[in-house]
Amino acid sequence: MTAAEPSPLSERETAVLAMERRSWPGPGAKERAIRERLELSPTRYYQLLNALLDDPRALAHDPVTVNRLRRVRAAREARR
C-alpha cells in the first residue's frame, strides 16, 4: 500500500456491510445479531453504518449494498 492508497476497511466495517447484505427473519433478529456478533449497541451500529455510506472505500468494497442503502437513506430524508 502506497501513501496515495486509502487504507482498507477494518474488520468491523466489513462486518457491518455484511450484516446489511443479509435478510432478517423478523423483528429484533438483526438487533440481537448486532449485539452478539459485533458487540455493538444498535445505535452505535447505525452510526457506523451511516458513516460508511459516505466512505468511498465502502463503495469500492460493496457497491451494490452501499448504493442500495444510500437510496433508502435519500428516500427517508426526502420524506422529512
Q: What is the pLDDT of residues 44-78, one digit of tens each?
A: 999 999 999 999 999 999 999 999 999 999 999 99
pLDDT band of 3, cuts 50, 70, 90: low
Residue 61 included in any domain: yes
Question: Residue 58: how many CB atoms within 10 A of its CB?
Answer: 21
Residue 4 included in any domain: no
pLDDT for 5-59, tens place per residue? 678 999 999 999 999 999 999 889 999 999 999 999 999 999 999 999 999 999 9
Residue 68 included in any domain: yes
- Please check the confidence at residue 1 and state whether its pLDDT lies above 80: no
Residue 60 included in any domain: yes
Q: State which residues form the domain around 31.
A: 11-19+27-79
Per-residue three-class SS string for 4-40: CCCCCCCHHHHHHHHHHHCCCCCCCHHHHHHHHHHCC
Q: Which of 54, 43, 52 is nearest to 20 (CA)?
A: 52
Domain total for the chain?
1
First to last CA, the chain: 42
| Res 55: pLDDT | 97
What is the rounded distance in angstroms from the CA atom of residue 45 to the CA atom of residue 50? 9
pTM: 0.85
